Structure 1
Amino acid sequence: MGLDIVLRNWRRTALVAALCVLAAIVYLATATYKYRAEMRVMQAPTQTTSSSQQMNALSGIAAIAGISMSGSETDLLPLYVEGLRSLAVARELARDPVLMRALFPGEWDSQAGRWREPPASLPSRLKSGLRSALGAPMAKWRPPGERELRDFLVKNIEVETSTKAPLTLVYFEHPDRKFALDFLTRLDRATDNLLRNRAELRASASIRYLSGELTRVELAEHRAALVANLAEQEQRRMLIRSPLPYAVEVFDPPSVSNATVTPQPPIVLLGAGILGILIGIGWSVVDVMRDRRGR
């Protein structure tokens, strides 16, 4: 029965499918094609800053003195992943006006040399009209800054964790092939430097505190714990300041695809054709059911 309905209305189904494919062709002709820049990173090797024998010998004394003797490093890979799309990293990148103009070209007036509000698109106008009708507050346009860049990072930086190896894939898509590669490289450096600088500030603060404690603590056991922890923090700060990557190591350096990855014309056309066929079949079934009810 269902096959009979399809066969009787094949012209309608074919027409709907053709219209959907035509719409897909128009979309592909006007779409923005993007290249993909990607890299694979892994957790940087943990640096042990004090021997286990020394830690075991002094841990009890340090606990009495209220001093932390833990020499283990935090797993920095999750922090790195979150940092890629953080406001702190966006704030650092937003200091480069050339980069901001490249990321938000639709809002930069090169002739006037200033930012301008872009013309609202139809979806934006519909959304604004709906919010206005509901009495919701309307956000005013402002020149792109660190918060707009953070929103851009959240929407455009993708992260995938491998289930086969301890690797994390980070990728970014952009119409400009060279810019995609350069931006991903800068994002990686900015995120790693953010974590490195925060770790160095913490280590330096610990060194200042421990040095101050040494001037007032007189008990020999407590002084031994302070000296050991101070040496540990100083060694940790030296490792943080090394030229090696701090949070993660790059397993596969940033690279960019030779061809565009989105949109993919074969998939778009095939999907449009299948969608058109399904709409045509559904339309035919609804007509048949309506005719039966009319009888």
Structure 2
Amino acid sequence: MPGAGVTLRSRVASGADFRTLLLTALAGWRVLAAGALGGMLLALAGLWVVPPEHTVVMIVGPTARVGSAAMGARVPVMAGREIALGAAEPGPGDEALSDYARYLELFGTGPVAERLATDASLLRLLFPERWDAAEGRWRSPPGLLPGLKRLLLALAGREDWVEPDAERVARALRDRLVIDMVRSGPMRRIALRHRDRAAGLELLGRVAAATDAHLRAEAARRSAAQIAHVKARLAGVTVTEHRRALSDLLADQERVAMMIEVDLPFAADPVQAPTVPALPDWPNPAAVVPLAGLVGLLAAAFALSVRAAWREAA
């Protein structure tokens, strides 16, 4: 049968190609070994050059409303009034944004970064290579690579930054922070890498506290504005039913303002406080060195294949 003949020839050709590849690998085993060894040596050299870092990890979740460890509901639970308020607000229901979602989105960025940029001690933790403790001022980082970067910027008519601002703080935290989902629930694992163990612990805790404080201040500002508005409208209303409705609304807003001031986590509960291993865990030599050896082996095998094909073509 013609089809069976084609299949048999393709199998024979595939077997011949595999044998050719195997013979090429056996003949060039020294090249393969040198590639794998070279990859591992390069990885080891990189591990000596790259400073090791500690990974600080904390786990957060939405602020609990029920349970012994919860802070309770900040907003009065009145189903009828909540339904009426939802009907009065434009947009579909899936546009609702919780304080916890805001917490995760603003963690170390935007207005939180502006708040952090005003803390001089935190800036020194975040940019230790740019702080000159002897002279008490910010400086350009020393070293070959930072010097090369400044040279390239100078050739392009630009200059490197010296004193950090909010944008630099947000960029540095974005490069260091990783937020992952814990299983399939609402909890999130927040990880931050830093060369100094104690500094990393303090830095992550202060970023989390600044984010929570920003959301608390924003909620207090909105609550105060609503209370002032209701009081102003209440002063000009004479109808008894309207005054009673406004008085109930004012009482609700005042309870909300009181609960915002409670000294408990506002937007996110620290399910697990920041923790860090005693020894640096990044980069991991047990993963980097074998992977580099495998990459070197594959590169050597590719070079052998190219050389064999070049010889056959010649």
TM-score interval for Structure 1 and Structure 2 normalised by the shorter chain: 0.7 to 0.9
Shift of 1:155: 0.9
Shift of 1:128: 7.0
Report the 3-state secondary structure (helix = DSSP H, G, I; strand = E; otherwise coil) of the residue aligned with 1:166. coil
Q: In the alignment, which residue of structure 1 is the partner of 2:103?
A: 80
Q: In the alignment, which residue of structure 2 is the partner of 1:241?
A: 261
Shift of 1:125: 3.8
Shift of 1:185: 1.1
Change in Cα spacing, 1:239 to 1:137, as seen in structure 2 (3 Å) is farther
Report the 3-state secondary structure (helix = DSSP H, G, I; strand = E; otherwise coil) of the residue aligned with 1:147. helix
Q: In the alignment, which residue of structure 2 is the partner of 1:111?
A: 134
Q: In the alignment, which residue of structure 2 is the partner of 1:69?
A: none
Of 213, 224, 246, 1:193 maps to 213
CA RMSD of aligned residues (A): 2.7
Shift of 1:102: 2.5
Structure 2 residue 43 is the aligned partner of structure 1 residue 24: yes
Aligned partners of 1:34 and 1:174 also within 8 Å:
yes
Q: In the alignment, which residue of structure 1 is the partner of 2:11?
A: none
In the aligned structure 1, how far is the partner of 2:195 from the partner of 2:299? Answer: 33
Q: In the alignment, which residue of structure 2 is the partner of 1:41?
A: 60
Aligned partners of 2:153 and 2:159 also within 8 Å:
no
Using the TM superposition, name which of 284-293 and 143-152 deviates more: 143-152
Q: In the alignment, which residue of structure 2 is the partner of 1:70?
A: none
Change in Cα spacing, 1:130 to 1:48, as seen in structure 2 (3 Å) is closer
Q: In the alignment, which residue of structure 2 is the partner of 1:90?
A: 113
Aligned partners of 1:13 and 1:277 also within 8 Å:
yes
Report the 3-state secondary structure (helix = DSSP H, G, I; strand = E; otherwise coil) of the residue aligned with 1:50. coil
Aligned ranges 1:221-232 → 2 under 5 Å: 221-232=241-252
Q: In the alignment, which residue of structure 2 is the partner of 1:284?
A: 304
In the aligned structure 2, how far is the partner of 1:206 from the partner of 1:249? Answer: 26
Structure 2 residue 32 is the aligned partner of structure 1 residue 13: yes
Change in Cα spacing, 1:174 to 1:126, as seen in structure 2 (3 Å) is closer
Aligned partners of 2:74 and 2:260 also within 8 Å:
no
TM-score, structure 2 normalization = 0.81
Counterpart AA for 1:290: W
Aligned partners of 1:128 and 1:138 also within 8 Å:
no
In the aligned structure 2, how far is the partner of 1:59 from the partner of 1:146? Answer: 40
Aligned length: 281
Of 50, 60, 70, 2:76 maps to 50
Shift of 1:272: 1.1
Shift of 1:174: 0.9
Shift of 1:48: 5.7
Which deviations, in whole Å up to 9, do the C-alpha atoms of 1:234-262 show, x marking residues without a partner? 00000100011110111111111233220
In the aligned structure 2, how far is the partner of 1:278 from the partner of 1:111? Answer: 50
Q: Indicate the percent of aligned positions where both proteins have the same amino acid.
A: 29
The runs of 5 or more residues in structure 2 that have no matched partner are 1-19, 66-72, 90-95
Aligned partners of 1:117 and 1:141 also within 8 Å:
yes
Shift of 1:110: 2.4
Shift of 1:120: 6.8
Aligned partners of 2:150 and 2:160 also within 8 Å:
no
Q: In the alignment, which residue of structure 1 is the partner of 2:229?
A: 209
Change in Cα spacing, 1:130 to 1:281, as seen in structure 2 (3 Å) is farther
Shift of 1:36: 1.4
Superposed structure 1 runs of 4+ greater than 6 Å apart? none
The runs of 5 or more residues in structure 1 that have no matched partner are 67-72
In the aligned structure 2, how far is the partner of 1:123 from the partner of 1:251? Answer: 39
Q: Answer with 1 or 2: which has the greater Rg.
A: 2
In the aligned structure 1, how far is the partner of 2:30 from the partner of 2:145? Answer: 33
In the aligned structure 1, how far is the partner of 2:146 from the partner of 2:308? Answer: 36
Shift of 1:51: 4.3
Which deviations, in whole Å up to 9, do the C-alpha atoms of 1:157-186 show, x marking residues without a partner? 111112333211111111111111111111
Shift of 1:124: 7.8
Change in Cα spacing, 1:147 to 1:3, as seen in structure 2 (3 Å) is same
Shift of 1:141: 2.2
Structure 2 residue 184 is the aligned partner of structure 1 residue 161: no
